[in-house]
């Protein structure tokens, strides 16, 4: 048995994805949604489900899961977030971050590695940390837009609304704003300053085009949703689980 750990999982693609994979591979494995109100409940869930071999982790638990793990690999440790957990036969839990692999593949498709101008990230949670790790690895400078501004790489929404997007080749939304079922929501930003020189990425995959991406596309920007990242991180998790 495998699963997805989160709080509200109606929006998730993982169960359908892995169920289809098991059918194609003629495996008797199952994939379940593990909806828990408190991340600490995962300890008893693992003990009660001896056939659990591994699970994915989604919002809001990518960072909160870490204290309940027995081990964590070096990449996940550096990122500070976990989205994949392997359950060993002795019950030991080890955390990994395959969001890094997924975003790396997505970044390759934009060919932004050839352009080292500053990128802009909306959001500072677990997914944002994976994005930051990949950008650092590729020597792409970035700023994080946050409502809680501190010294260093964080800037305010007011500053973006003042300067626009001309300073940033790549703009990435890692927040859940615009995700199903709240598809009419979008970040309040100076979309009128977008040009064909911008690339916009939204890690959301449902809907396939958020209003964030639609507004960017209509101004001439290249746009990418989170599906590539989603597929690649899922396949990387499957390999970690030993298949």
Question: How far, in Å, are 18, 33, 114, 223 from residue 55 at the CA level?
Answer: 11, 9, 35, 30
- In DSSP terms, 223 is beta-bridged to 200
Spatial distance between the Cα atoms of 83 and 76, rounded to a whole number of angstroms? 9
Active site residue 15: no
Q: Which residues contact 197 (CB under 8 A, 6 or more apart)?
A: 169
CB atoms within 10 A of CB 215: 18
Q: Which residues contact 237 (CB under 8 A, 6 or more apart)?
A: 54, 56, 83, 84, 96, 98
Using N-to-C axis directions, what is the helix angle for 227-240 and 14-24, rounded to 10°?
Answer: 60
3-state secondary structure (DSSP) of residue 31: strand
Active-site position among 8, 15, 50, 62: 62
CB atoms within 10 A of CB 74: 9
Q: Look up residue 9 and give its two tokens.
A: 């999982």
Residue 130: name the closest of 93, 77, 64 by CA: 77
Spatial distance between the Cα atoms of 222 and 235, rounded to a whole number of angstroms? 26
Residues catalogued as catalytic: 62
């Amino acid at each position: 048995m495998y699963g997805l750990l989160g709080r509200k999982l109606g929006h998730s693609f993982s169960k359908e994805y892995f169920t289809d994979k098991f059918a194609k591979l003629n495996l008797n494995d199952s994939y379940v949604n593990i909806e828990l109100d408190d991340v600490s409940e995962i300890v008893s869930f693992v003990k009660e489900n001896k056939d659990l071999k591994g699970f994915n982790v989604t919002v809001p638990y990518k960072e909160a899961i870490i204290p309940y793990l027995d081990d964590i690999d070096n990449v996940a440790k550096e990122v500070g977030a976990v989205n994949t957990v392997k359950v060993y036969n002795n019950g030991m839990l080890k955390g990994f971050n395959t969001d890094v692999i997924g975003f790396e593949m997505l970044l390759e498709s934009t060919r932004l590695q050839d352009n080292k101008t500053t990128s802009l990230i909306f959001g500072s949670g677990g997914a944002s940390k994976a994005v930051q790790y990949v950008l650092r690895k590729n020597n792409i400078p970035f700023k994080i837009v946050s409502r809680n501004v501190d010294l260093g790489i964080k800037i305010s929404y007011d500053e973006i609304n003042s300067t626009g997007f001309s300073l940033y080749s790549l703009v990435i939304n890692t927040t859940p704003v615009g995700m199903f079922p709240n598809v009419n929501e979008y970040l309040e930003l100076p979309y009128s300053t977008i040009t064909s020189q911008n690339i916009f990425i939204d890690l959301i995959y449902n809907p396939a085009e958020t209003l964030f991406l639609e507004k960017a596309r209509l101004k001439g920007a290249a746009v990418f949703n989170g599906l590539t990242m989603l597929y690649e991180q899922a396949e990387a998790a499957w390999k970690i689980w030993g298949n």
